[in-house]
Amino acid sequence: MQIPIVAGAGPGPGLGSCAWKEQEWQDCDLVEQMREMTMTTSTPPTASLWSATSTSAWMGEWTETWIVWIREEVQRLMMGTEMDGRVEMDADGDVHGHIFSGSSLSGSGSGSGPGLGFESAKLWSSSSGDSLSLSTKQVLVNMYTSLLVFLFSFAGTQLEVGNALAERNTVGKLPALGWNSWNAFNCDVDEAKIMTAASQMVTLGLKDAGYEYVNIDDCWSIKSGRNSTTKQIIPDPTKFPDGISGTADKIHALGLKIGIYSSAGTQTCAGYPASIGYEDIDAATFAAWGIDYLKYDNCNIPQNWTDTYTSCVPEYNWVGPNGTCPGTTNAPPPGYDWSTSNSAERFRRMRDALMAQNRTILYSLCEWGYAEVWSWGNETGSSWRTTGDIEPNWDRITTIMNENSFLLNTVNFWGHGDADMLEVGNGDLTLEENRSHFAFWAAMKSPVIIGTSLDTIAQNLVDILSNRYLLGFSQDGRYGAPAMPYKWGVNPDWTFNATNPAEYWSGPSEMGTLVLAFNSLSVAAEREILWSEVPELSYNGNGGFEATDIWSGKALGCISGGISRNLTAHDTMGFMITGTCEGGGGGHRRSKLGRQAFRSRDSL
């Protein structure tokens, strides 16, 4: 997926187009052309959807809905302006959006046909043509604000971009919601603890809120080895007397799904049998047991499977300016394709083994951010870990949040950067830290996997984990992109800082625009959200918007200008912003801050 801003004329009409001119649609034959092109199937192929051949092979029934929605978005943005727009599909099946100011092209966007995915989102300045990897919805100049919102909106709508494990039941399209045993119990895991967590998910209302996976982490098998005849991993009969399949049956009876754990190495992280060299056997075993989710770790890699080069992972390497790794030894040559690395191949082997099974198993790569997994993870699994393990302390949480903020342009439907399992309810985190932690994991569209003991969890933490606005944003079926930073706050924009990451975030959803601001300081401080600075809202300047507080659920009415609040240390304020309105209170001044050209860590 590429979103260019270019000078000069755009491509001419291809197979069909819709033109928005003089405040109405003219010569609109795109949907009719799409009907003629649409194939009989509406189901994505189960093989890798990233091949170019699948673009022309799969034009499902959803395509017409997608085109109609894009057309509605152009109309919404252009109504009341002097700009003209056009949406068209070319002979290759790619859809292009164009917005004109007078006779000149102000900008254009193109969305690849189904199957190519959102490997990156890029902007080109109209003057130089140099590419900047974009990880927020920022604009190069203010006149492009509405255009970019439109483009990023249709990039995350009904275009169902699949990864290699995409299935007709849409498993993996949205971030996983569930519970995992590791953060709460480490190796002290057994069926009783798993079933307690499952029953509590139902009792506490977490199942009704959307949580569905109950995942067994490391240490579930015997440690001495595999079955000498079948070569299968053997469940520990003391911990799981009914076997994993028996536990799976009980989980399924509650209307939930079950997950299991292994590693792409010779042993798991705790020293139990792992799956490298046994991918086909283990995938078939997991499917036979009724497994629905596989967390696949990265421990104990054989020497012959190590990577040729060392990637820049800021927390593992000496960190230079803005997250670079100038001290990395054995760095790859410029332009190295990490999808050809041994790391990528190790994880692809399990992917292929899972795909060969007659069962849908969500595939979670616990790869720790090595080998630039964000460049190949979406074609391999449904989610991919971006960092090392989380810990129940605020410093670690902000470190992960900071690193993830530079990788969000690779997140969309079917591919999610995994910020690791939640520590909500663990350690000495304050209530404010717990809710900030949850808010940003949900907003970044990371998998949201609870990691605390559910039989002792406090109700106020259950309320946080059940927040309808944040879960609604996470699980939005129309917008796949995450919320992204639009201003750093304490630091200059695009500062890589583990202590004070970006403080101001926003993102579109069917409910409205989610806007978050948090206080990264260890003392109380005021934070102010200005509508004129929020990319999705800036078209209305200092005008009013209907706002709802996401924590209290209280409708605040029509608010003009923005909202400011005094926040205690590490707290977050959040609002769901809906339609425009008139006569709102607030009266905040218009921001005098110029908008920045934002870019990813790789371009710093």
**What letter represents residue 71's amino acid?**
R
* Tokens read off for 315: 């927390």
Asked about 297 being catalytic, the answer comes back as yes
Token pair 């005008």: residue? 543
Residue the block writes with tokens 């629905």: 292
**Regarding beta strands 512-518 and 572-581, do their DSSP bridges make them parallel or antiparallel, or are they unpaired?**
antiparallel
The kind and range of the H/E element at 30 are: helix 30-37
- What Cα–Cα distance (Å) separates residue 35 from each residue in 65, 68, 578? 11, 12, 33
Contact 13, 26 (CB under 8 A): no
Catalytic position from the list 94, 297, 420, 476: 297
* DSSP string over 158-190: S-----TT--TT-TTSS--EEEESHHHHTT---
How is residue 422 written in tokens?
A: 């939640």
DSSP 585: B
The encoded tokens of residue 221 equal 């098998």
Catalytic choice (249, 280, 389, 549): 389
Note whether 120 and 133 are within 8 A (CB): yes
Whole-angstrom distance, CA of residue 68 vs CA of residue 89: 12
E-strand ranges in 426-554 read 448-450, 484-487, 504-509, 512-518, 525-530, 544-549
The H-or-E segment that residue 76 falls in is helix 62-78
Q: How far apart are CA 450 and CA 15, in angstroms?
A: 48
Instruction: State in Å, rounded, how far the first CA of the chain is from the last one.
Output: 22
User: How far apart (Å, rounded) are the C-alpha atoms in residues 241 and 246?
Assistant: 8
What are the helix (H) ranges across 210-328?
A: 243-253, 279-289
Task: Return the closest-CA partner of residue 500 out of 405, 431, 387.
Answer: 405
Say whether 351 sits in a helix, a strand or coil.
Answer: helix
- Paired with 123 in beta bridges are 132
CA dist 576 and 546 (Å) reads 8
Q: Which residue has the tokens 């960092």?
A: 387
Alpha carbons 422 and 86: distance in angstroms, whole number: 44
Q: How far apart are CA 407 and CA 48, in angstroms?
A: 23
What's the rounded Cα separation, in Å, for the pair 321 and 307? 25
Q: What are phi and psi of 163, to 5 degrees?
A: -100, -170
Q: At 320, phi and psi to the nearest 5?
A: -95, -160
Give the integer Cα–Cα distance in Å for 302 and 277.
11
Query: β-strand 362-365 against 383-385: which pairing, if any?
Result: parallel
569 close to 524: Cβ distance less than 8 angstroms: yes
Radius of gyration of the chain (CA): 24
Active site residues: 297, 389
